[in-house]
Amino acid sequence: MSIKVVIKKSTYFDSVSLMSLSTKANQLPGVEQAVIAMGTEMNKEVLRNVGLLTAEVEEAKSSDLMIVVKAETEELCDKALAGIEELFSKKGETKGTSEIKYATIDSAAKSIPEANLAIISVNGAFAAREARKALENDLHVMLFSDNVSIEDEIALKKYAHEKGLLMMGPDCGTAIIGNVALCFGNAVRKGNIGIVAASGTGSQEVSVRIHDFGGGITQLIGTGGRDLSEQVGGIMMLDGIKALDEDEATKVIVLISKPPAPSVEEKVLAQVKQCKKPVVVYFIGGKEEAVAAAGGHFAKTSKEAALKAVVLAGANEDELNKRALNWPLIEEVRAKLTPEQKYIRGLFCGGTLCDEAMYSAMETFEDVYSNIQKNPDYKLKNLHESKAHTFLDMGDDDFTNGKPHPMIDPSLRIARFLQEAKDPSVGVIVMDFILGFGSHEDPVGVMLPAILEAKQLAEKEGRHLEILGYVMGTDLDTPKFEDQVNKLMAAGVTIASSSTNAGLLAREFVVKGA
């Protein structure tokens, strides 16, 4: 065994980051023990007790950060330390890894005259200024930053509109432009379907389903979550529809959003009416009549949106595997659950995936609670305790304040999962596992010990606990989609083939007396 130590002089990281780094460091290949802690006398004493004290550790001061790694060989130690360094650099995002660094957008635009898009992820206080600079340089903008005022958003979008540029965001986390996923996105086939979306994980899901049905994407244009509000008026969605309508490669357009403000919905549907191309409209929880009147194709679910899009784009519907609900499985699970096991608990990383599953449950049950419920009567008051059917968007600010997003740090979801698993009134726990750019490198792997623990606990108590998983990803994603699904199945998790099916299966599993 070999032990190696790095001491970072006068280095401070907040506790949440340190815990997250420490968890990841212990998962690095070849690492038997990894400790990241402040160099206090007490911590050094602990290291002595566990056989990790070295001369370097003894020298550390209480304001120094100690990184101690124990591994089989010296080489593995070095590798692990390099891996930890990489984690630290990822944490200090400003360091970046590009070969050339530009101090300003102006200098970057000057040096790369062929560039036509800028991704901006700076503090909200400066984001609007940087976005304006990019637009002034005739660059389309994807603005990842949030905390931009609505006045700035409107001004930027109006300016971009005048210049014929895209202003995606603020708070836009997903786009696929020229077959390249930006920020959070999945590896999907190039095709003839264009998407305009005000919903990040919703657009990821539709793009993944389109890929699964054999179709492909031309462009996925994000608008930012506030675009369809009364104040912003859907400026970006209207421009996005127009851009895709004029794009020769795009044959079908898909729109995705939570229900827009009524006046904005009218404007968007008026634009749909003008379109030369078929438009599929998926406004989560939306109504069919208005969409049909505008000549659009209404979709009630993300799967239906993808299916309609690929059929309109030329696929033969009869040849598609529509991944129908597995009714024999539903009957089998119903038979395993006791009459007391009547509730669903949904623990989601993706907001739209949570929303979709919640809406499915609301079609059958009344007592559906969530931190993102629109109905105040069913908005969860105590986030730490579930009530009846509960669906949690764990990526919402309610849970991420001061903590990393669950797509990156799963610890909060793991703890909540174990809590729900102990509740004898729970019949099914449903979870999403999001693959792709920007996500955790092994979202299933980190949940597996907890899943096995929960299964054992339920078995010991003589009840069946149904765990339903949905892996959102394609065969082109990293980590491998198939491996992630196989790991879940080996742990006794039932796999849903889409976000839509995850919601429907969860609902049907706990229907009693059907």
Partner 1 sequence: MLHVRTLSGDDGFLRRVASGELHGSVHSLFDRTINIHCEENGELFTIACIELDNGPNTLVVDRKRFQNMGIAVNDPVSVKADSLIIGKALSLTWQHARQWECVLPVYPSSDQKLRENMAVIKEYVAAHGKSGGLKKASSPANVFEAEVSSLLIARTNELYHALAHGRWSEACEFAIGLVGLGPGLTPSGDDYLAGLFSVYHMPNAPCCLPYPFFEKFTRGAHQRTNEISYMMIKKAAIGHVRESMVRLLEAVVNGTPEEVVHSLGNVLGIGSSSGTDMAMGLISGLALQLEMGGNVCLSKS
Q: Out of 1, 9, 41, 314, which residue is the one contacting partner 1 (CB under 8 A)?
A: 41
Q: Out of 89, 107, 111, 147, which residue is the one contacting partner 1 (CB under 8 A)?
A: 147
Residue 429 CB, shortest distance to partner 1, in Å, is: 18
Residue 44 CB, shortest distance to partner 1, in Å, is: 9
Residues 445-464 that bind partner 1 (CB under 8 A): 449
| 268: nearest Cα among 228, 308, 306 | 228
Q: How many Cα atoms occupy the beta-carbon half-sphere of 454 within 13 Å?
A: 28
Any contact of residue 150 with partner 1 (CB under 8 A)?
Answer: no
Residue 161 CB, shortest distance to partner 1, in Å, is: 28
Residue 92 CB, shortest distance to partner 1, in Å, is: 10
Q: Out of 28, 36, 183, 272, which residue is the one contacting partner 1 (CB under 8 A)?
A: 36
Rounded CA separation 507/354 (Å): 13
Residue 479: cis peptide before it, omega within 30 degrees of 0: yes
Residue 328: cis peptide before it, omega within 30 degrees of 0: no
**CA dist list (Å): 510 to 273, 374, 401, 463, 465:** 41, 23, 33, 14, 11
8 Å CB contact between 274 and 471: no
Any contact of residue 53 with partner 1 (CB under 8 A)?
Answer: no
Q: Position of tokens 């599953």?
A: 357
Count the site residues for partner 1 by CB under 8 A: 44
Any contact of residue 102 with partner 1 (CB under 8 A)?
Answer: no
8 Å CB contact between 205 and 499: yes
Any contact of residue 16 with partner 1 (CB under 8 A)?
Answer: yes
Any contact of residue 42 with partner 1 (CB under 8 A)?
Answer: yes
Task: Considering only the stretches 49-57, 192-200, 243-251, 318-326, report the one whose residues sit in contact with partner 1 under the rule CB under 8 A.
Answer: 49-57
Q: Out of 2, 13, 438, 442, which residue is the one contacting partner 1 (CB under 8 A)?
A: 13
Any contact of residue 98 with partner 1 (CB under 8 A)?
Answer: no
| Token pair recorded at residue 155 | 């001004």
Identity of the residue, 376 or 402, whose beta carbon is nearer to partner 1 in the bound complex: 402
Identity of the residue, 18 or 315, whose beta carbon is nearer to partner 1 in the bound complex: 18
Give the burial class of 482: count Cβ atoms within 10 A of its Cβ; 0-12 exposed, 13-18 middle, 19 or more buried. exposed
Residue 28 CB, shortest distance to partner 1, in Å, is: 12
Number of residues that this document lists for the chain? 514
Any contact of residue 97 with partner 1 (CB under 8 A)?
Answer: no
Task: Give phi and psi for 166, each to the nearest 5.
Answer: -90, 135
Binding mask 107-136 for partner 1 (x = CB under 8 A): ---------------xxxxx----------
Task: Give phi and psi for 334, each to the nearest 5.
Answer: -55, -40
H/E stretch holding 7 reads strand 2-8
| Token pair recorded at residue 210 | 């389109």
Neighbours of 147 (CB within 10 A): 11
Residues 369-428 that bind partner 1 (CB under 8 A): 382-384, 401-402, 415, 419
Rounded CA separation 331/185 (Å): 35
Binding stretches for partner 1 (CB under 8 A): 12-16, 18-19, 22-23, 26, 33-38, 40-43, 45-47, 49-50, 52, 62-63, 68, 94, 122-126, 147, 382-384, 401-402, 415, 419, 449
